[in-house]
Amino acid sequence: MQTLKIEFIDVGPDFLKAKMPVNSSVHQPMGLLHGGATVALAESVGSAASIMFIDKENEEVRGIEISANHVKSKRSGEVFATAKMIHKGRLVHLWEIKIVDENDTMISLCKLTNIVLPLKK
């Protein structure tokens, strides 16, 4: 979170939103936002969102699958990731994470599956 300068900026009953700056620290060699940094943002937001729905004293969350479609490149500015719950089961949470820029242009669309596990004490 600190390395990528990801900040949570909004929360609601079924979503969590964060932002991340786009600069040379998250560029791939051609000077564009790295897909891996985008996926790290998506997983950070989706995993943190799942934590809002568990019993933190007895459960923990692990990401078990993530996919991403990168539809537009970005060189500078900021990107915003909003995780919205698609499915909330007892053991599995499914999230859609839309990543847009400051003009609300879609950059990536991600899907994250989390598993809820008993906390090992």
End-to-end Cα separation, the chain, in angstroms = 25
Please pick, among 7, 43, 96, 102, the residue that the annotation labels catalytic.
Answer: 43
What residues are paired with 79 via a beta bridge? 20, 101
Q: Where are the alpha helices (DSSP H) in the chain?
A: 35-51
7 in active site: no
What residues are paired with 118 via a beta bridge? 59
Q: Looking at this protein, which amino acid is placed at residue 99?
A: I
47 in helix, strand or coil?
helix
Just list the catalytic residues. Answer: 43
